Structure 1
């Protein structure tokens, strides 16, 4: 049985339906990326799961307990980190974490041991005596994550945790979350930075206008984006003395070929969209690309690089949400 089960969740604010019949599951040891634009319903859904809001309809079960009916039993299992986290200015990192350990009911030697353990895991030991107000955003984010881990929850709910972090801090955060999942914790993480989620998540759920449009493994969502939607190719030429004339000639040859839906010229390369039938396999896509390459070579076009553009979660999101209007 999944650790977290969300069933038919709905949340209305007057005439606005912020969350509309959302259903998904999350297993222990798994990271699920909650994908959607700002205002899609991500934060509202996460607040309900974290017992900070009450749904208009639906149910949330955490380790078999109803989050809606018995929130007090569910809360010890939850570590929630909101998109806007706060720290107290006039306390050290150790004092901040120790305060929250006391709030979680930890006492004596067990409390000290737990705070030390969390600081070690999050890399905060060198900053133990530093004021939280003097920390960088990335380090404050680590402190907020440490606070979330103090009571050793089974489920982590992280709302936009990478927002505003520099590249190094993002990488370090991904490593921490992967380590937590490897420890058996379930992680629900939201973001509108889709490339971040692609590198860390096992599964994804795409939400827009309050509706859950697709769920599944990242690879499966990417495959759905490609199947029936065509494939993109990037072509670079050894232009030599021909200069831009080589690209003009290549563009003419490409446009004469079947299955070419769109050609765009970018600095130093052509981007070609091949349109294929619904249900086309990767093998069929490769064969279509090979025919196009053969036509270019036969025409004497000096191709020096020819490749598929790798799909990412942005492609999956755009395919799944295609045609939806506000």
Structure 2
């Protein structure tokens, strides 16, 4: 559905994008994550036909964004990170204006607008002025605007930026609903945990380059050469500490007396973990639980973008 081939954008000697290659399948939600200035908005502006690349091309449903811009615009709904609204219009008038801009008849707009407002949970604000809406409501109204011509693809640049936790949950639920309707959604954020629950897969961009791609779990597993294992004990830790310390795959063993547990880094495979636990049980160590601790997603993001090892 979306294919990006060798996409490059250069300003003088500065590369905003460098040879970006990416394929996004139809009906999926793809998250584009990167720090501010990494190249997310540049990529989205090119996909939305608002910016010409220096080199390469991108294809929306088989159409080039550089050669078939007019046709591409019919297939996409674009929500930029910063957008203007017409404050003196009511919510329904705002959507009516954009519906007319897309060539919808008055009868079509009359039937469609209530459905869009219901979809984004704004039907009760239909007759409220836009400038009186909260930031989260304005975000959802702009999402409704991007849907007014029923596009196949949604390109949403930082749609949850500046929203409170409740508004973020509402936005996430709306995106799930849009996915169930068969929309292909490309969404960006500089916060990895924000995208983790919404996306089928993610791509991490840094300094204009795509440096990781896959599901959150795949990226996390690829980065972690060492796993954090936590062992909770029902008795003294001295014997257990000595046992785990002797394993060549264990490092940085730490006792946590207040939690009656020990933690350590482990370089082995899952089969190695099974062997280690079996041997510990054969020694009759007082183990209540033996588990791998999940790495914080923010740590994963920092590891990807800074090239450091996740611990």
Q: Check conservation: 2:75, 2:152, Cα contact below 8 A.
A: yes
Query: Hey, what's the Cα distance between the residues in 2 that align with 1:22 and 1:184?
Result: 26
CA contact (8 A) 2:4 2:20 kept: yes
How far the C-alpha of 1:115 sits from its partner, in A, is 1.3
Query: In the alignment, which residue of structure 2 is the partner of 1:242?
Result: none
User: Are the equivalent residues in 1 in contact too, given 2:244–2:250 (CA < 8 A)?
Assistant: yes
Task: Give the one of 269, 275, 284 matched to 1:287.
Answer: 275
Find the counterpart in structure 2 of residue 262 from structure 1.
252
Residue 275 (structure 1) aligns with: 267
Please give the TM-score of this superposition, normalised by the length of structure 1: 0.84
1:233 maps to 229
- What is the rounded CA distance, in whole Å, between the counterparts of 2:211 and 2:187 in structure 1? 17
Residue 40 of structure 1 aligns to a residue whose secondary structure is: coil
Q: How does 1:112-261 map to 2 (within 5 A)?
A: 112-226=110-224, 229-237=225-233, 254-261=244-251
Q: What's the CA shift for 1:236?
A: 4.2
Give me the whole-angstrom Cα distance separating, in 2, the residues matched to 1:102 and 1:40: 36
Shift of 1:16: 0.8
- Give 3-state SS (helix, strand or coil) of 1:89's partner: coil
Of the structure 1 ranges 14-23 and 34-43, higher mean CA displacement relative to structure 2 is found in: 34-43
Q: How many angstroms apart in 1 are the aligned matches of 2:241 and 2:162?
A: 40
TM-score w.r.t. the length of structure 2 is 0.87
Match of 1:60, SS state, is: strand
Alignment-derived partner of residue 104 in structure 1: 102
Structure 2 spans left out of the alignment, 5+ residues: none
| Residues 176-222 of structure 1: CA deviation (Å, up to 9, x unaligned) | 11221221111001112211211111111111111111222344333
Query: For the structure 1 residues 157 and 230, does the alpha-carbon distance in structure 2 shift closer, same or farther, using more than 3 Å as the test?
Result: same
RMSD value, Cα: 2.6
Corresponding residue pairs, total: 306
Distance 1:87 1:296 in 2: 69
Contact 1:208-1:321 at 8 Å conserved across structures:
yes
- SS of the counterpart of 1:144? helix
